[in-house]
Amino acid sequence: MEDLQRLYQTIVLDHGKKPRNVGRIDNPDREALANNRLCGDRFTLSLALDGDIISNAMIDGEGCAISTASASLMTELVKGKSLETAARLFKAFDAMMQDKAVENHGIEAEMEQLEALGGVRDFPNRVKCATLAWHGLDAALQGHEDEITTE
């Protein structure tokens, strides 16, 4: 049961049940819809920019505990970051979830926080839940209009 306890550790359950930054930004500078249709996990991510700094990030939607926690943690970590740093955070988290080498220079503190989701690696069929909102972030950063999915 250790791997289950690691997956559903306190931070994950907390963010899963009480996600932060819930809602939509009026007139967002970037927006993306991340939708795993087969699953039922669905989040709209909206970003407000101040120059090239993300001044606000919100998520609106619903999903399982893993996808919700991941989306919530993501909004907390990207607020106040530059677009470039946010993009690097996405790449690093995505690599971490796939158990690949992580390039975390300058974002060590944030990646340490995201270790809370590290347990997902033991549950391959839940990786798509953890990465959903992050792929939404990637789409938003790149200005992609279409709905994205991690299924």
Partner 1 sequence: MNQITQPAAFDIDAIRADFPALSQQVHGKPLAYLDSGASAQKPLQVINAMQSAMMETYSNVHRGVHYLSQKSTELYEEARKKTQNLLNAASDNEIVFTKNTTEAINLVAHSYGSFLNEGDEVIISEMEHHANIVPWQMLRDRKGIVLRIAPVTDDGELDMAAYENLLNRNTKLVAITHTSNVLGTITPMARIIELAHQAGAKVLVDGSQAVVHMAVDVQALDADFYVFTGHKLYGPTGIGVLYGKEDLLNSMPPFLGGGDMIKSVSFDHTEYADAPSRFEAGTPMIVEAVGLGAAIDYVQAIGFDAIEAHEKDLRNYCHQRLLSVPGLKIIGTAANKAAVVSFVVDGAHPHDLGTILDRSGVAVRAGHHCAEPLMHRMGVNATARASFGLYNTRAEIDQLVKAVEFAKDMLG
Which residues in this chain contact partner 1 in the complex, by CB under 8 A? 1, 3-5, 7-8, 13, 16-17, 38-41, 62-66, 123, 126, 129
Nearer to partner 1, 1 or 101 (CB): 1
- How far apart are CB 148 and partner 1 at their closest, in Å? 19
Shorter beta-carbon distance to partner 1: residue 81 or 126? 126
Helix axes 83-97, 65-78, angle to 10 degrees: 150
Q: Given the complex with partner 1, which of 38 and 101 has the nearer CB atom?
A: 38
Q: How far apart are the first and last CA of the chain?
A: 26
Which of 34/86 has CB closer to partner 1? 34
What is the arrangement of strands in the sheet containing 41-50, beginning at the earlier edge strand? 30-36, 41-50, 53-62
Q: Are 70 and 132 contacting, i.e. CB atoms less than 8 angstroms apart? A: yes
The least distance separating partner 1 from the CB of residue 53, rounded to whole angstroms, comes to 34
45 to each of 9, 15, 21, 22, 88, how far by Cα in Å? 24, 16, 10, 9, 18
CB of 109 to partner 1, least distance (A): 27
**Least distance (Å) from partner 1 to the CB of residue 13?**
6
Distance in Å, CB of 40 to partner 1, minimum: 4
| Ordered alpha helix ranges (H), the chain | 2-7, 10-17, 65-78, 83-97, 108-114, 127-142
Q: Which is nearer to partner 1, 39 or 53 (CB)?
A: 39
